[in-house]
Amino acid sequence: MIRFSRERVQRIAAALRAARARRPRPADRRSSPIPDGMTAFSVATWNIHSCVGLDARFAPDRIAQVIRDLDVDLIGLQEVGWHHRGESGLDQFDFLERHTGMKAYAGPTKHNERAHYGNCLLTRLPVRSMDTMDLSVGKREPRGAIDAVVEVEGRPVRVIVAHLGLDPWERAKQVGDILSRVLDQPELPTLFMGDLNEWTPSSPRLRHLAASFSDVANPRSFHARMPTLRLDRIYVTGGLQIPAFEVVRSILTRRASDHLPVRAVLAVP
């Protein structure tokens, strides 16, 4: 067995700390002006935990209040609806539409006679088309995505809202399926956002996404009480840019869900 002296162990530890300090960390916010000749619109992504907050209280009115306060043109939501949490029988998709003033487009992944559950796109922008993707893998929990095209100042912009699985091999297939759709129309301005359930910076799935999209907003958004993981992300391609983004921390957002919302300003030519 090889033994190292205490001094050598200390030198190795110091070198590792220095290497970590030199490694660039992703920013938690960005604030840049809108480029000349481009039009801005605002987006957000948020996992709302079936409207059950960290205080264990079912409060869809609180979720609606946060969404109104975000004041974005569109928001992609995950974990909308009854999922052994909250109140069965309440249509959360309809509730959020009525209490935010935005049009709700539902992408349920689970259907139940007491309430559906899945992804949701809330938007005040005109919607040209809306489709859903089945991202389920084997006998794992059903997963899916919303694939819509909205109008920003008359320009079509594709919006994909997804909630990926818990296993790496599951997410690998889901990322591949999403990228296949995006690459079918590479010229179409596209944003992909949602809860990706990826927390390892060296993840092959994240490297795959980084190679296929031009930019990403990925601040630390989980856990809401003390955010350390970058689970909730917004990717863009096809000419879109992300001049500004932030994770929204307030008394209300830290209590409303176990995730914090990620808000961004996008620019389209």
pLDDT at 218 over 90: yes
Determine the average pLDDT of the residues in 90-104.
97
Note whether residue 80 is domain-resident: yes
Note whether residue 19 is domain-resident: no
Note whether residue 166 is domain-resident: yes
Task: Decide if 122 contacts 103 (C-beta within 8 A).
Answer: yes
Give the pLDDT of residue 22: 56
Give the pLDDT of residue 2: 47
What is the model's pTM? 0.90
**Containing domain of residue 129, as a range?**
35-268
Give the integer Cα–Cα distance in Å for 245 and 239.
Answer: 17
> For the chain, what is the domain count?
1
Determine the average pLDDT of the residues in 95-109.
98
Give the pLDDT of residue 18: 58
* CATH number reported for the structural domain that contains residue 131 in this entry: 3.60.10.10
Place of tokens 């955010």: 227
Give the integer Cα–Cα distance in Å for 58 and 101.
Answer: 21
Note whether residue 231 is domain-resident: yes
Determine the average pLDDT of the residues in 60-71.
98
Tell which phi-psi region holds residue 176, choosing left (phi > 0), alpha (psi between -120 and 50) or beta: alpha
Determine the average pLDDT of the residues in 162-190.
97
Note whether residue 245 is domain-resident: yes
Task: Decide if 239 contacts 268 (C-beta within 8 A).
Answer: yes
Give the pLDDT of residue 100: 98
Determine the average pLDDT of the residues in 109-131.
93
What does pLDDT average to over the chain?
Answer: 93
Q: How many helices (H) and strands (E) does the chain have?
A: 6, 13
Give the pLDDT of residue 13: 61
Give the pLDDT of residue 1: 46
Give the pLDDT of residue 99: 98
pLDDT at 16 over 60: no
pLDDT at 88 over 90: no
In this structure, of 4-13, 34-43, 101-110, 133-142, the range with the lowest mean pLDDT score is 4-13
Note whether residue 17 is domain-resident: no
Q: Provide Rg for the chain, Cα atoms.
A: 20
- Residue 175: phi and psi, rounded to 5, are -60, -45
Residues sharing a CB contact under 8 Å with residue 227, sequence separation 6 or more, in sequence order: 219, 220, 221, 247, 249, 260
Note whether residue 18 is domain-resident: no
Determine the average pLDDT of the residues in 91-100.
97
pLDDT at 6 over 70: no
Determine the average pLDDT of the residues in 117-124.
98
Give the pLDDT of residue 43: 99
> What confidence category does residue 113 fall into, taking pLDDT thresholds of 50, 70 and 90?
confident
Note whether residue 9 is domain-resident: no
